[in-house]
Amino acid sequence: MGTPHFAVPILKAINDSKHKILGVYTQPPKKRNRGQKISISPIHNFSNQYNFIVKHPETLSRKEDYDFIQNLRPDIVIVVAYGKILPSELLSLKNIQFINIHASLLPKWRGAAPIQRAIMSLDNETGISIMKIVPKLDAGPILLKSKIKISKEMNYEQLSVQMSELGAKLILESLDLIESGKAKYISQNEKEATYAKKISKQETKINWNVEAKTLVAKINALYPSPGTWFELNGSRIKVIKAIEIKAKGTPGEVINKNLTIACSKNAIQILELTKEGKKATMASEFLKGNKIKVGTNINNNV
C-alpha cells in the first residue's frame, strides 16, 4: 500500500527479491493541472508496468476491500506513504502482519510530513523506522531503525531519495527477520512522541520576520512542492534555492544587488527562483529583466 515516488524503490526492491507481490493498493487517480488530465499515482504507474493487481478505493472501510485482502491471504501488508488510515477491522484480520515504513526516527515526527518537518526544524539527522501498525497513528512497536544525516544544503527532494533507498534496504532485512521468526519489536516511548502535521498553504508564504537559517530550511523542506513564495509587484515569486548571508537590514528589505533580503537575523541570498507562469531561472538572469532597487521592502511591494 503506497502512493508517491518515495514508495516506488521500496516496491521495486520487494518485487526484485524472493518475495511475491500479490496486490497493490494506492490512492485513486486524480485530475491535475489546468487541463484536468487524469493522473495515476507513481506506484500505480509502476504496478501497471509489472501487471500487478491494483486497487485504488476512495476509502478502505468497504467490505469489498476487507474481503479482497482476506481472500488474498497475504503474509504481510506493507504500508509506505499510502495516505490513508487503515481501519481497525482491517488490522484485525488473522494471520496477516501489517508493517509500516515511516520516514522518521520514531517516536519523533509521527504523521503526514516527517521529512519536511525534520528539515524545517533544523534537525541534524532523521531516518527510517519499520514498525508494526496499530490503530493509533504511527504508534506501533519498532522492528528496525536506521539513521541518516541531514546537511544544511539538503532539500526535501534529495533527502527523500536517500531515505527511500534506505527504506528499500530495511524492508528486505525486516522481511527476513519476520520469515525466520527472529523479529523482535520494541515499544515506542510515548513521552518522546512529536507530530509532523501536514504542510498548510499558509506556511508556504515567506515570513521575513524569522532568522535566515530558519527560512533557508523552510525553502529546502518545501522544494519542489508546494514551494515557498513571496509577492513582488503583484506577481508571486517562488524561491527554489537560497543561502544564508551574514548581513543586517529591516526584515523584507532588499539589501544589495544580488537579491539578498534581510530577515530578523542575517539575510538570505536567493540563487534560483520561478516567477508565476515562468520557468525556473537563476536569480542573476531574473534580475536582468526585473530591476529591483536596493532598499525595496518586499513586505511593502505586494
Mean pLDDT confidence for 79-84 = 95
For position 33, what pLDDT does the model report? 67
Number of helices followed by number of strands (H, E) in the chain: 9, 13
Q: Are the CB atoms for 26 and 65 separated by under 8 Å?
A: no
**Is the pLDDT reported for residue 272 higher than 70?**
yes
| Cβ-contact 139, 193 below 8 angstroms | yes
If phi > 0 it is left, if psi is from -120 to 50 it is alpha, else beta; for residue 164 that is: alpha
Q: What's the pLDDT band for 70 if we cut at 50, 70, 90? A: very high
> Higher pLDDT residue, 9 or 290?
9
Q: What is the mean pLDDT of residues 223-245?
A: 95
pLDDT at 34 over 70: no
The CATH label, of 3.40.50.170, 3.20.20.105, 3.40.1590.10, 3.20.190.10, for the domain at 5-192 is: 3.40.50.170
Res 277: pLDDT = 85
- 85: CB partners within 8 A, 6+ apart: 60, 137
Within 13 Å of residue 49, how many CA atoms lie on the same side as its CB? 11
Per-residue pLDDT tens for 101-128? 999 999 999 999 999 999 999 999 999 9
Query: Taking the CA atoms of the chain, what radius of gyration do you get in angstroms?
Result: 22
Distance CA 22, CA 1 (A): 11
Q: Which amino acid is at 110?
A: R
**pTM for the full model?**
0.94
Containing H/E element for 131? strand 125-132
**Cβ neighbours, 10 Å, residue 58:** 9
All structural domains of the chain with their residue ranges: 5-192, 201-300
pLDDT tens by residue, 246-258: 999 999 999 999 9
CB 1 within 8 A of CB 25: yes
What confidence score (pLDDT) does residue 215 get?
98
Q: Are 11 and 24 in contact (CB under 8 A)?
A: yes
> How far is it, in rounded angstroms, from Cα 128 to Cα 67?
31
Fold of 201-300: Methionyl-tRNA Fmet Formyltransferase; Chain A, domain 2 (3.10.25)
In which band, very low, low, confident or very high, does the pLDDT at 132 lie, cut at 50, 70 and 90? very high
Crossing angle of the two packed helices 156-179 and 8-16, in degrees rounded to 10: 30
pLDDT of amino acid 233: 85
Phi, psi of 243 (to 5 degrees): -130, 160
Q: Identify the pLDDT of residue 35.
A: 65
Residue 301 has pLDDT above 80, yes or no: no
String of b and e for 195-213 (b: at least 16 CB within 10 Å)? ebeebeeebeebbbeeebe
Q: At 299, is the pLDDT very low, low, confident or very high (cuts 50, 70, 90)?
A: confident
On the question of pLDDT at 302 being above 70, the answer is: no
Instruction: Tell me: pLDDT of 29 over 90.
Output: yes
Rounded mean pLDDT of 121-140?
Answer: 97
Maximum Cα–Cα distance across the chain: 68
Output the average pLDDT for the chain: 95
